[in-house]
Amino acid sequence: MLRMLLKRCSLALTTAFLLYFTPVLRAEEDMVTKAAVQQIVASHHGKVALYAHQLNTGKTIAVDADQVVQTASTIKLAMLWEASRQVALGNAHWDEKLTLEPGEGVGGSGVLHLFDTPLTITLKDVATMMVIVSDNTGTNMMIDRFGTQAVDEDMAAIGLKNTWLYKKVMKPATGPMPADQKKYGLGKTTPREIATLMDKIGRCDLNIPGTPQVEQAKADAACSVAINMMRNQFYRETIPRYIETLDSTEEGSGIASKTGSLNATRSDVALIAGKSGPIVMAIYTYENKDQSWTVDNEGEMSIAKIAEAIVKAWSPEGINGKSLVPGLGLRYNGEAKSASKMK
């Protein structure tokens, strides 16, 4: 009897120890990873702001994550979320036709401005061009379809108070503009906010508080298209650079992302299908000394090294493109999994 009592006490003490110290050990593991990331940040000739979060474990790294930054083309994610929501609601359709009229094309990234006009293509094709080659003309066509006001109001409604799409690309701002528009140009956000938005796209959460919920099956169908666009991102020198070890032509990429680049700014926002659980990551480098436009630009290299350090620590077995699906495998009987159910 005494032996059984001692055994039970030992088991209780062991359980109590694990419950008490496991969060500490997990936090220490995150701090070790953050220290490695901060070494890369410290060596960068410019500034870095980032937010990374493994959705099933809760592991998080934040470096100036609430710093408002110039988005460059990563703000196009806000338009992608808005378009997906409107498709899910039935207010838009991926196969509806949009027409690029003569004189409406703009230069910079993309190819639509090189095509003969008038050019009529589907909403899905326009959005795809906006995402995979960051097509500026395609982005302006999306703005013509949905408007910046709707995007900005919906970003605020889902709690992203510092995420703004101000205007068309390479076009002057029209109408009343917030006082900080000239500072940020096309758009602004914070790493934490844009990562939250990417998380919503991955989970197919297209809901706005205080409005009727979007039918989940329709949300899944709409955001499945959006995720597939981002998986086919053409620019892969930043977050995917060292961690995309899969043959994406055969299996499909394990990374869905959207990049943004200006002379002194390089950024990338991504969903990463880690084998140990999905990771959302937003990394911004700005005020960069290296303003070259080569694949070895320091801003792009710094982003790649940070992504590699985090993914190797949190998902040492690598990534798996098969799990990059609507909901990211984080649902339980149709509902979002709790932390305990995701372990």
Topology of domain 27-326 in CATH is Beta-lactamase (3.40.710)
- Amino acid letter for position 200: K
The pTM of the whole model exceeds 0.75: yes
| Closest C-alpha among 268, 278, 258, 269 to residue 324 | 278
Give the tens place of pLDDT for each residue, 233-279.
999 999 999 998 765 656 679 999 999 999 999 999 999 999 999 99
Q: Report, as an integer, the average pLDDT of 24-29.
A: 40
CA–chain centroid gap for 320, Å, is 17
User: What average pLDDT does the segment 283-296 reach?
Assistant: 97
Q: Is the sign of the CA dihedral 138, 139, 144, 145 positive or negative?
A: positive
According to DSSP, residue 209 is labeled T
Residues 182-224 pLDDT 10s: 999 999 999 999 999 999 999 999 999 999 999 999 999 999 9
pLDDT band at 282 (very low <50, low <70, confident <90, very high): very high
| Closest to 270 measured CA to CA, from 317, 173, 167, 201 | 201
Mean pLDDT of 57-64: 95
Q: In 232-297, which ranges are continuous DSSP H helix?
A: 248-251
Catalogue the E-assigned strands of 18-109.
47-54, 60-63, 69-70, 97-100
Residue 174's contacts (CB-CB under 8 Å, 6 or more residues apart) are 167
Half-sphere exposure of residue 214, counting CA atoms within 13 Å on the CB side? 25
Collect all residues with Cβ–Cβ distance below 8 Å to 126 and sequence separation of at least 6.
Answer: 98, 112, 138, 141, 142, 145
Helix (H, G, I), strand (E, B) or coil at 153: helix
CA-based nearest residue to 144, from 89, 106, 107, 110: 106
Q: What is the pLDDT of residue 89?
A: 98
Rounded Cα distance, 35 and 117, in Å? 53
Q: Where are the domains of the chain?
A: 27-326
Beta bridge partners of 258: 269
For residue 26, the model assigns a pLDDT of 43
First to last CA, the chain: 36
Say if CB 101 and CB 118 are below 8 A apart: yes
- pLDDT for the residue numbered 91: 98
Banded pLDDT at 123 (limits 50, 70, 90): very high
* CA proximity to 116, closest of 107, 97, 103, 135: 103
Nearest CA to 326 out of 213, 194, 196, 216 is that of 216
pLDDT of res. 19: 35
